[in-house]
Amino acid sequence: MPAVQRKNGKFHVSFLKEISTMKRREFVGLGMALGAVSMSGTSLAAGGAKLSLDTLLEATVAQLQAAMASGKLSAYALTQHYLARIDALDRAGPCLNAVLEINPDALEIARELDRERAKQGARGPLHGIPVLLKGNIATADRMSTDAGSLALTGIRPAHDSFVAARLRAAGAVILGKTNLSEWANMRSTRSTSGWSGRGGLTLNPYALDRNTSGSSSGSGAAIAANLAAVAVGTETDGSIVSPASICGLVGIKPTLGVVSRNGIIPIAHSQDTAGPMARTVTDAALLLNALAGIDTRDAITAESAGKVPDYTKFLDANGLKGARIGVARNFFGGNDEVDAVIEQALRVLKAQGAVLVDPLEIPNIAKYQDSEQEVLLYEFKADLQAYLAEFAPGAPIKTMADLVAFNEKHRDKELQYFGQELLVRAAAKGGLDSKDYLDSLANNRRYARAEGIDQVMQEHNLDALVAPTGSPAWLTDFINGDHSGASFSSPAAVAGYPHITVPAGAVHGLPVGLSFVASAYAEPTLIRLAYAYEQASNLRQAPRYPQTVSIKAAPHV
């Protein structure tokens, strides 16, 4: 296979040309190579009996936990297994470039968790489970927290984010940081999702020349490729649900305030949240249990008091019976083949006992299309400065203006493919007491909440709204930027309401997701509906790492 071109950890786009010349047999042999790498020199069992590669591929958290409880697997061996897969798939082979950095302490953490299990049992369902974090989530360890930017590379926060602290308390092994669209894709109107100055381009496991979407691109590609059990992404508008849909995953964007924002490199406090990315609804619910909670450093989490249950209690295979689900037809029509996949999903919902209210539309979407970005620009300027002061005091930047200047100084590395016009616009904004900001924020909340999702759900007495999550993966294009097509992310994102995407099938081998959206704190209902749909359809397919899409393939799978 061709050598990977890297410079200072950066993936060079010229490698795409080399990928396109790779022979199919090289990829056919990849599975056998992975088996050898995963099993060579170490037992994947605590007691000596090896588990097969097939057992670990696509394994759920519960299956891994059961294997560790029985002594057939250890956290140390499981961590070794995922590190081997990262070597074989992310650093070599198809070179997905999904993982920015490996936690150098991961194996020792896993070893200590094994000792703890032997002495006093497991802390809970995530004990010893390797988890990947998006590269904008602060960890107080030997890894950087940099949002993919060279301006923050090497910066190590003095304390964990709330998310990282919760995962450590749950006994998870923080395996590493994933690549992302730099600054969570809030840099340019002509950006290429999945690219960062530090990490380069994340490749799509379902077709290497196609985009993985963003900004949680690395989290999506990594979990699709089984580089860890689960991952944490973050979303402002679409950054969890879009890459989850495109990578054949379950993604949950929680209600604003269910998960603390403290210690996450921000875009906008009115929309930002972390959330699970997993291969099953069950795993996503387990991870959300660990992430959710009240944080004294993030006041909005106090609003979730009494509204955050054990989400796994809502995993009901019969959960669609009698549910009233509205079909948001104003989010169809972007791609006829996607629509055909979702029409089949609607038939599954109906067959499982759901009552479909079809058609209907979510009203007033156009009324916040412009004001959303205004709010993001104002908040990005203020929120980034606050984050840098607390978590990165030693960084070479202190303000948005400093960041713009840094990128100009390092334009050969940071601005080689697209610009930073959004950063420039954010730097020019006033404070959060500006009339324009306050008016735009009030407009967003009015039309996305009361006169948007809440209105249509109350009028039709709905449990949830459904629509296609978005388009299949598009060809990566550094000249024209993203051309992602339709998306269902904005209504829930602007409102701060929950959104779950579940695999619904594929178009030419490219995954397509079905989205469930509802009003604030409706995660239990959405998990119940999504789980019942998942169990009835079972459409998650592992990737095969083709060089490109075969248009001769059947369009609907």
DSSP 518: -
- Strand arrangement, sheet containing 99-102: 99-102, 173-178, 130-134, 230-235, 273-278, 250-253, 499-507, 510-517, 464-468, 324-328, 355-360
Please report, as a single letter, which amino acid is at residue 452: G
Residue with tokens 């989850």: 244
448 within 8 A of 368, measured Cβ to Cβ: yes
231 within 8 A of 132, measured Cβ to Cβ: yes
User: Is 224 strand, coil or helix?
Assistant: helix
Euclidean distance between CA atoms 205 and 545, whole angstroms? 5
Euclidean distance between CA atoms 139 and 390, whole angstroms? 13
204 within 8 A of 246, measured Cβ to Cβ: yes
Which of these is catalytic: 72, 134, 253, 381? 134
Which of these is catalytic: 191, 215, 304, 489? 215
Is the Cα dihedral 33, 36, 40, 45 positive or negative?
positive
Q: Show the 3-state SS of 156-186.
A: CCCCCCHHHHHHHHCCCEEEEEECCCHHHHC
Backbone angles phi and psi of 242, in degrees to 5: -70, -55
Euclidean distance between CA atoms 364 and 451, whole angstroms? 7
Euclidean distance between CA atoms 83 and 63, whole angstroms? 19
527 within 8 A of 314, measured Cβ to Cβ: yes
Q: Please count the residues of the chain.
A: 557
| Surface-to-core class of residue 198, CB atoms within 10 Å of its CB (0-12 exposed, 13-18 middle, 19+ buried) | buried
Q: Is 321 a catalytic residue?
A: no
Q: How far apart are the first and last CA of the chain?
A: 30
Residue 147 Cα distances to 88, 194, 196, 503, angstroms: 25, 11, 8, 27
Residue 337 has which token pair? Answer: 């083949």
Which of these is catalytic: 74, 181, 188, 239? 239
Q: Is 515 a catalytic residue?
A: no
Residue with tokens 């759901």: 354
Give, for 286, the enclosing helix (H) or strand (E).
helix 281-291
Residue 201 Cα distances to 7, 187, 209, 388, 432, angstroms: 13, 15, 11, 25, 34
Residue with tokens 């995660």: 523
Q: Is 119 a catalytic residue?
A: no
Residues recognised as catalytic: 134, 215, 239
